[in-house]
Amino acid sequence: MFILRLLAVIVVIAVAGGVVAYLLTRNQKYLRFSWRVFRYSLIVALLVFALMVLERVAVIPL
């Protein structure tokens, strides 16, 4: 769980850094980078949450 929190902090820093770089340079590649990092991290987060839910469902006895 610690690794997931650490990755979340790194993602937030990367996205914020890309947005700040865009605001300073007005270069679109930094916004594309931030959007791409955000999108992939959201997909990974949803997969992790789905696995957690499946784990809970599998533990419940029928």
- List per-residue pLDDT tens for the chain, 62 residues long: 899 999 999 999 999 999 999 999 999 999 999 999 999 999 999 999 999 999 888 887 66
Residue partners of 5: CB distance under 8 A and separation at least 6: none
Query: Given 3-state DSSP classes, what are the helix, strand and coil percentages for the chain, each rounded to the nearest 5?
Result: 90, 0, 10
Q: Distances from the Cα of 16 to the Cαs of 4, 38, 54, in angstroms?
A: 18, 10, 32
CA dist., res. 5 & res. 48, Å (int): 12
The token pair at 54 is 């499946």
pLDDT of 62 reads 62
